[in-house]
Amino acid sequence: MIVKNSLDEVKKRESALKIIKEIINDKGRDSLYDVTGLSGGFIASDEELNLLETYVGPAIFEDELQIVGRKHLGGEKVLAVNRTSSGILASILALVNEGDHVSHFLAEFPAHPSIPRSCAIVGASYDEFIDIDKFTIPDNTSLVVVTGSTMDHKVIDEELFKKVIDMAHEKDIPVLVDDASGARLRTAVFNQAKATELGADLVVTSTDKLMPGPRGGLMAGRKDLIDEIKVKGNQFGLEAQPPLILAMVNGIKNYTEENLIKAIDKKDELFEMA
């Protein structure tokens, strides 16, 4: 199947899920290995599962997520959303107006499509750069986005990372870091600092990427900005529901840098055997 558009992407996923189901129904779960790094997980005890009601769940687990989430990402406050893309959309809805501009610096092209698509929704112009000498922040810029790493383990040099943040802050423009996998890859494998420690105002990560959490998004950063984004998230149904919040808490608790490094080493071994 040749993927030409987003509808083809949906059809491809549906086809893949059908194949997965057939394999598991025929041969059992242990017959299929997920080596994508995106397998995620929903770690929960029976006692915790009994608390997953619409309002009871957040009342119990959101406070704990604030604790473990800030430890994982830094920042003043965290916010759980359905996906990293949901957090990006909510951020742009909250911080970018029609006629504004968004400048995006990343390790390599292309950017995740949720970023330019979100800009298009609000009527903002958008540019992306991989060369710091060509990176520009026009006067009408209201948000700078940085993507810290790629899934094939290419990362932005830490000094370059900080330079982009400093350039934005010189113009009093907030910086959002799309650290979907980078929140773990950059810190555990490349010994870089957390995005918030580098000066970013906001960071969002995917809680199923390189950690045993669910497919969801976790944001952290300045409390005033997180509060604005939370409003937009709630308005458009982008906020995470109780099962995701619980699974995020336990996913972060069960994440270790040592296990990630071992997994990457194992990947290299398998690649050499192929």
Enumerate domains of the chain plus CATH numbers: 46-256 (3.40.640.10)
Please determine, for residue 272, whether its predicted confidence score (pLDDT) is greater than 80. no
Beta bridge partners of 103: 127, 144
Rg of the chain taking only CA atoms, in angstroms: 19
Residue range 120-171, pLDDT digits in tens: 999 999 999 999 999 999 999 999 999 989 878 889 999 999 999 999 999 9
Residue 236: pLDDT over 80: yes
Contact between 189 and 261 under an 8 Å Cβ cutoff? The reply is: yes
pLDDT tens, 239-259? 999 999 999 999 999 999 998
pLDDT band at 178 (very low <50, low <70, confident <90, very high): very high
Backbone angles phi, psi at 53, to 5 degrees: -105, 165
β-bridge partners, 218: 80, 205
162 neighbors 156 (Cβ within 8 angstroms): no
Q: pLDDT tens for residues 29-85?
A: 988 888 776 767 889 999 999 999 989 999 999 999 999 999 999 999 999 999 999
